[in-house]
Amino acid sequence: MENMQPFMQLYLTGEENYESGDIIIEEGSRGNWIYIVLKGQVKVTKRTKLGTVTLNTLKQGAVFGEMALFGKLLDGRSASVIAADGPVTVGVLDFDLLRRDYESLSPRLRLLIDTVIMRLKETNEKIAAFVLAANRKGPGEK
């Protein structure tokens, strides 16, 4: 990614390449790598009984896996991230450096950031439940 912000370049510890359909992060697994999309697109998906719900598609410059960074330890990854649409290159960001930055913030600012993460997780859960409901037609519907 030629136009990557120089301050992000400093946090880059490596690059990984994936093919379409490769799993980059698996829902429920443990891990605290944080990634940035350098080339291609990735899909954020959540498992349900009726199949997999795609929550979002992320493009170049988007960061994912960042929920591991904030607040208390999470019970594993909350969604899967899968390479979509051709070859994908992701950059691996320095977790320890970002975590140190986060811990240097005041308690109130940290609480604000934690709130954003919590809201995003709740919203994703609700969306997955709705998508599930909409995927089957009710009685009386054509």
Partner 1 sequence: MADVRQEEFPAVTLTYEKGDLIIKEGDYGISVYKINRGRVLIYAERHGKNVPIATLGPDEIFGEIAFFNKGGEKRSASARALEQTELEAWHPAMLSKEYQEMPPALNYVVRQLVIRLLRMNRLLVQLTEQEEKRRKALEKSDPFVSRRRFYRKPVDLECYYRPVGLQAKSRLSGRIRNISLNGLGMEIAVQNTANVSHVVGDSFVIKTVLPSGKDLDLEAKIVSLKQSETPSRLLLGLSISRLSEETKKVLGFFLLP
Residues that bind partner 1 (CB under 8 A): 5, 7-8, 10-11, 34, 47-50, 55-56, 62-63, 66, 69, 93, 97-98, 101-102, 105-109, 111-113, 115-117, 119-120, 122-127, 129-141
CB-count exposure of residue 26 (10 Å: 0-12, 13-18, 19+): middle
Query: In angstroms, what is the minimal distance from the CB of 80 to partner 1?
Result: 14
Query: Which residues touch 54 (CB under 8 Å, ≥6 apart)?
Result: 43, 44, 45
19 vs 116, which CB is nearer to partner 1?
Answer: 116
Query: In angstroms, what is the minimal distance from the CB of 126 to partner 1?
Result: 6
Query: Which residues touch 112 (CB under 8 Å, ≥6 apart)?
Result: none
85 vs 130, which CB is nearer to partner 1?
Answer: 130
DSSP 8-state code for residue 14? E
Name the residue among 18, 116, 127 with its Cα closest to residue 70: 116
Query: In angstroms, what is the minimal distance from the CB of 16 to partner 1?
Result: 18
2 vs 141, which CB is nearer to partner 1?
Answer: 141
Mapping DSSP to helix (H, G, I), strand (E, B) and coil, where does residue 63 land?
Answer: strand
Query: In angstroms, what is the minimal distance from the CB of 85 to partner 1?
Result: 19
> Whole-angstrom Cα distance, residue 88 to residue 82?
10
